[in-house]
Amino acid sequence: MESPELSFTLVYVVFCLCFVFTPTEFHSAGLTIQNLFSSWLGSEDLGFVQYHVRRTTVTLLVHSALPIGYYMGMCVAAPDRNLGYVFQVSDGWRAFLLLSLCVQVTSWMFIIYWSRHHWHNHPISRALEAHMHPSHSDWCSVAASINTEFRRIDKFATGAPGARVIVTDSWVLKVTTYHVYVALQSECHVTVTESRQHQLSPDSASPAQILTLRVDSINPAVKPFDIRLQSTEYGDLREKLHAPIRNAANVVIHQTISELFLETFRAQVELNQPYPLPTGQEVESCIGCMQVLACTKLVKLCHTDGSESDSDCQQCFCRPMWCLSCLGRWFASRQDQQRPETWLSSTVPCPTCRARFCILDVCAVR
Ligand SMILES: [Zn+2]
Ligand SMILES: [Zn+2]
Ligand SMILES: [Zn+2]
């Protein structure tokens, strides 16, 4: 393959991946289905269900046109292959063209089938139909109930546009690229199944714990689905979600940034060199919580190699007095709560003698 073809292929593959999975850069550039077709899609606030029926339809249509777009682009990028003359091209290209056309035609057939009887066959309408009984006569009346509740400003909403979670007064909704999952709050129960921790690092703005919750419904027609959210949003979710939440994996949910920071703090202290307790010295209980032994000692370790050290840390001469959790909480409490990205690099005074220390100076007592 010559270089213009290869470069076009690479660029097109990257473009397709970004277009389908839409990273933040593509969102800010406005290269999303929602933006490109905004005038036809209408307003999500006015008609949530109708909007997503249209959006998923356009999404399917545009995504299924990507292979044929590649073929057409190739006609321009590699004119010497004569891809425009279908009967002269190689078997491989002809098969590709046929396959792309099949994909496109199939998606059109799906859409025509969905759109019959006022979009009655669309997967979203089908999902709503499962909730018709007892209070609604048809799926349109379920849709009207969702639309009304979505318009209220006190709903809970979170997540990237491709995986948005919305909880209204009586509904739990999850919006994905091709579908909207719906469960009635009064019929569902929720289970915390997984937690992933992203620690505070120099390139992340704040530590994060991502929770995965499974929404099951007692209604057999409703398939269970997973929702994801940050642990700091869990409190807001609880406020809106009246369904019982079970914590299956015994996940410890850190609802504040300080609690999340404690994990990072612990991990960093593990990396620092330990402090060997001098012989004859006894370790006492932590004077903060009186629950566990004091297991930390502040030793000025940062910038020990550079002679002209610019750190403002000082040597602390206190004996071990604090446990790791208490010292971590103290460290977090002295930070700018609005800017967690500065926490790792800042210094705080020793709680006892006020000598300044940074996270690199905290040693575990061995
Ligand atoms: Zn303590
Ligand atoms: Zn001290
Ligand atoms: Zn230091």
DSSP 8-state assignment for residue 254: -
For 300, residues 6+ apart whose C-beta sits below 8 A from its C-beta are: 313, 314, 315, 316, 357, 361
Query: Does residue 320 belong to any structural domain of this protein?
Result: yes
Query: Does residue 233 belong to any structural domain of this protein?
Result: yes
pLDDT at res. 2: 60
Beta bridge partners of 363: 297
Q: 250 alpha carbon to ligand 3 midpoint, in Å?
A: 36
Query: Does residue 323 belong to any structural domain of this protein?
Result: yes
Query: Does residue 264 belong to any structural domain of this protein?
Result: no
104 and 197 in a single domain? The answer is no
φ/ψ of 18, rounded to 5, equals -65, -35
Query: Does residue 261 belong to any structural domain of this protein?
Result: no
pLDDT at res. 260: 83
Sequence letter at residue 4: P
Q: 311 alpha carbon to ligand 3 midpoint, in Å?
A: 6
Name the E strands within 93-170: 156-158, 164-167
Q: 184: domain CATH number?
A: 2.30.29.30
Beta bridge partners of 189: 216
Nearest Cα residue to 76 out of 163, 121, 12:
12
Query: Does residue 262 belong to any structural domain of this protein?
Result: no
Which residues are placed with Cβ below 5 angstroms of ligand 2, an ion? 316, 318, 350, 352-353, 355
106 and 155 in a single domain? The answer is no
Q: 333 alpha carbon to ligand 3 midpoint, in Å?
A: 18
Query: Does residue 146 belong to any structural domain of this protein?
Result: yes
Sequence letter at residue 305: D
22 and 42 in a single domain? The answer is yes
The residue out of 91, 125, 159 marking a domain boundary is 125
The residue out of 233, 255, 277 marking a domain boundary is 255
Residue 336 · residue 342 · CB < 8 Å: yes
Sequence letter at residue 258: S
Q: 316 alpha carbon to ligand 2 midpoint, in Å?
A: 4
138 and 121 in a single domain? The answer is no
Q: 272 alpha carbon to ligand 3 midpoint, in Å?
A: 12
Distance CA 343, CA 205 (A): 10
In angstroms, the first-to-last Cα distance of the chain is 63
Q: 283 alpha carbon to ligand 3 midpoint, in Å?
A: 24
243 and 145 in a single domain? The answer is yes
Domain region containing 92: 3-125
Sequence letter at residue 124: I
φ/ψ of 25, rounded to 5, equals -60, -40
Distance CA 329, CA 362 (A): 13
pLDDT at res. 203: 62
115 and 137 in a single domain? The answer is no
Burial (CB count within 10 angstroms: exposed 0-12, middle 13-18, buried 19+), residue 357: buried
> From the centroid of its chain, how far is CA 109?
33
pLDDT at res. 146: 94
Beta bridge partners of 198: 208
138 and 199 in a single domain? The answer is yes
**3-class state of residue 359 by DSSP:** helix
pLDDT at res. 303: 73
Predicted TM-score (pTM) of this structure: 0.75
Q: 298 alpha carbon to ligand 3 midpoint, in Å?
A: 9
Torsion of CA 332, 340, 206, 228, to 10 degrees: 70
Read out DSSP for 256-281? SHHHHHHHHHHHHHHHSPPBPPPTTP
19 and 76 in a single domain? The answer is yes
Length of the chain: 366
**3-class state of residue 356 by DSSP:** strand
17 and 113 in a single domain? The answer is yes
Sequence letter at residue 36: L
Number of structural domains in the chain: 3
299 and 220 in a single domain? The answer is no
Q: 359 alpha carbon to ligand 3 midpoint, in Å?
A: 7
Residue 257 · residue 232 · CB < 8 Å: yes
Nearest Cα residue to 71 out of 81, 58, 57, 56:
81
pLDDT at res. 349: 94
Q: 211 alpha carbon to ligand 1 midpoint, in Å?
A: 28
Distance CA 299, CA 52 (A): 58
DSSP 8-state assignment for residue 163: G
Residue found by looking up tokens 């190739």 in the block: 74
Query: Does residue 310 belong to any structural domain of this protein?
Result: yes
Q: Helices H, strands E: what count in the chain? A: 12, 12
Residues of the chain with pLDDT under 70: 1-2, 200-205, 304-310
Question: Which tokens go with 339?
Answer: 């800017």
276 and 336 in a single domain? The answer is yes
The residue out of 70, 98, 125 marking a domain boundary is 125
Q: 204 alpha carbon to ligand 1 midpoint, in Å?
A: 28
66-77 helix and 3-21 helix, angle to the nearest 10 degrees: 160
250 and 273 in a single domain? The answer is no
